[in-house]
Amino acid sequence: MIDQIGSTSVEGPSRSSAALAMVDEWALEVHDGLVRKSLIVDDLLDLRAELADEPLLLIEVDQFLSSIPGKTVVEPKWWAATLATLRSELSQRLPAGAVVDS
């Protein structure tokens, strides 16, 4: 489907698959140093936009958005744990045997 700004969007399992690929990519980028809070907010808002048709997942993303610790930076273990939780939730919504492109 083409949305109003002309980008291609997908629905259903493909959308969850795309969201899972996003989370996996971000997890690979988590290092030992502090993470900018603004980066985490941007990533979670991108994920929220991708999951616009999944109200239960939106609630989960909103809870993480409202509970980001710190004023400007976040401990990497919090971000890694958040991504692991999101990955688990997204994986449960994918059909068995679905392939995730990363």
Question: What local confidence, expressed as pLDDT, does residue 7 receive?
Answer: 36
**Do the domain assignments include residue 75?**
yes
**Counted domains in the chain:** 1
Measured CA distances, 3 to 9, 10, 11, 39, 46 (Å): 7, 10, 11, 25, 16
Asked if pLDDT for residue 16 goes beyond 90, the answer is no
pLDDT-wise least confident of 37-46, 49-58, 62-71: 49-58
Question: What local confidence, expressed as pLDDT, does residue 6 receive?
Answer: 35
**Do the domain assignments include residue 22?**
no
Whole-prediction pTM: 0.78
Indicate the average pLDDT of the chain: 84
Range of the domain at 74: 33-93
Higher-scoring residue by pLDDT: 94, 67: 67
